[in-house]
Every structure is written in structure tokens, then in C-alpha cells.
Amino acid sequence: GAVVSQHPSWVICKSGTSVKIECRSLDFQATTMFWYRQFPKQSLMLMATSNEGSKATYEQGVEKDKFLINHASLTLSTLTVTSAHPEDSSFYICSAREDRYEQYFGPGTRLTVT
């Protein structure tokens, strides 16, 4: 099956700093990648959709200047949380899709902002 990796698996950072999370599709070319956020005991919330080579489409209520997404190649997308605050602490999950319909999820990145 399709494999998606994320790095780092978990990260702790201080308030006000920026954190970059990488999402890679290892054995397929991902034309579209998605970024989700999940708070404890809640469902996945889509943050943004990115297509390779174009600007990401952000969901309503997600600040594009705070959550910078770059989809520079067909196998790599990055999410940068800028000026992180404790309320940004969450489980960030990416998913990737080739030309078929199903999405394959990365293992997630747990971010803790102190």
C-alpha cells in the first residue's frame, strides 16, 4: 500500500517560535496533499489542501499567514506553524492522494508549545 511519512513525530517548542513539519509520499507521486489537525477526543479537521506547484487552499478560519504550506514537489509538502502559541498544540496529520480517490495518512506529528 501507499506509504506517507511525517517528520518529526513529535516536537516541543517554546511560544513564539516556528516549527516546520514535513510530509512525504514514499512510493507514489502525490498530486494533492492535505493537512489536518486533531485535538484530543475530537475528529479530524481539515486545515488546507495543497496541489503541487500551486498555492494551498485554506479552510475557513485557518490563518494562512500562520500556517504556511509549501508543496514544492510531488512527494513533499511542508507545514510551518509560525509564532506558535500553546493553543496550537495539537496532533497534525497530513495525507496524500495520487490520482485515485483514496487518501493515505502520515503517522502524524504531535506538537506541544510551552
CB 11: neighbour CB atoms within 10 A? 17
Tell me if 102 contacts another protein by CB under 8 A: yes
Pairing of strands 45-51, 32-38: antiparallel
Tell me if 62 contacts another protein by CB under 8 A: no
- One character per residue 36-55, x = contact with another protein (rule: CB under 8 A): ------xxx-x--x------
Tell me if 34 contacts another protein by CB under 8 A: yes
Select from 38, 21, 35, 24 the least CA-distant residue to 84: 21
Scanning 19-27, 66-74, 75-83, 103-111 for contacts with another protein by CB under 8 A, the matching segment is 103-111
The per-type count for the chain, helices as H runs and strands as E runs, is 0, 11
Q: Min. distance of Cβ 63 from another protein in angstroms?
A: 19
Q: Are 50 and 58 in contact (CB under 8 A)?
A: no
Cβ proximity to another protein: between 44 and 74 the closer is 44
